[in-house]
Chain A
Amino acid sequence: AQSVTQLDSQVPVFEEAPVELRCNYSSSVSVYLFWYVQYPNQGLQLLLKYLSGSTLVKGINGFEAEFNKSQTSFHLRKPSVHISDTAEYFCAVSPTSGTYKYIFGTGTRLKVLA
């Protein structure tokens, strides 16, 4: 079984400051890792994914994430945030074989302040 923990339910940050959203996972099998963003009243949009290879993954809108297998983490970072980055961010894992279904974390609400 897999589980995903997003310890921070809300993260306030000032515009143009850097931000890190934390994600830790637990799994007995190999997993793929994902970050999704959800803007108000919209569905989830894929930000980036880690399948294999380089542990530093770059995504859309200037976001990047680093896979750390020893710490079972996949933290999301952006060096300089904008007001438009205000949204809910979800970390998810999926087994690399089998049913492929996603297990989502509870989400982190990023609020960018002017």
Chain B
Amino acid sequence: EAGVAQSPRYKIIEKRQSVAFWCNPISGHATLYWYQQILGQGPKLLIQFQNNGVVDDSQLPKDRFSAERLKGVDSTLKIQPAKLEDSAVYLCASSLDGSSNYGYTFGSGTRLTVV
């Protein structure tokens, strides 16, 4: 089966600019996650979708980050305006139904550098 697709792979922007990342999960996977992985740290959950509804966005900085999952398939994560500390790899993952015993399938990530 095809994996989780993410684009772009790399992005360099200046602080205060805006940026968007795209994720296409595995077909049929109801649950989609966005994680932020800062260099030297483990991934941190930003937001979890179940179909097109938000399950958990408690760690999403809502003053600058937004995410949507239209029609319960693709998802976009946006940052506006970006700060230097947003430099990180943004990982998208999907799972069949959100129960963790299946494990997640991760995409290759988008590496964001804010200068």
A90–B98 touching, CB < 8 Å: no
Contacts of A102 in B (CB 8 A): 43, 45, 100, 104
Chain A residues with CB under 8 A of B109? 42-43
Query: Does A4 belong to the interface (CB within 8 Å)?
Result: yes
Is the pair B42, A34 in contact by a Cβ cutoff of 8 Å?
no
B43 touches A104 (CB 8 A): yes
By the criterion of a CB under 8 Å from any partner CB, how many residues of chain A are at the interface? 26
Contacts of A44 in B (CB 8 A): 43, 91, 93, 104, 106
Given A43-B91, A43-B109, A49-B103: A90 and B43 interface contact (C-beta under 8 Å) = yes
Among B43, B45, B108, point to the contact of A41 (Cβ < 8 A).
B108
Q: Which residues of A have CB within 8 Å of B99? A: 100
Closest to B111 in A: A41
Residue in A closest to B48 when the chains form the complex, CB atoms: A101
Minimum CB–CB distance from A87 to chain B (whole Å) comes to 14
- Rounded to whole angstroms, the CA-CA distance of A92 and B48 in the bound complex is 17
Contact between A107 and B42 (Cβ–Cβ < 8 Å)?
Answer: yes
Question: Which listed residue, A9, A49, A99, A104, touches B56 by the CB 8 Å rule?
Answer: A99
Q: Once bound together, how far apart are the Cα atoms of A4 and B42, in whole Å?
A: 10
A107 and chain B: residue at smallest CB distance: B42
Q: Is A94 interfacial (CB-CB < 8 Å)? A: yes
Asked if A105 and B42 sit within 8 Å, CB to CB, the answer is: yes
Residues 4 to 19 of chain A near chain B (Cβ within 8 Å): 4, 9
- 10 closest Cβ contacts across the A-B interface? A104-B42, A43-B106, A94-B100, A100-B100, A44-B106, A46-B103, A43-B108, A106-B42, A104-B43, A51-B101
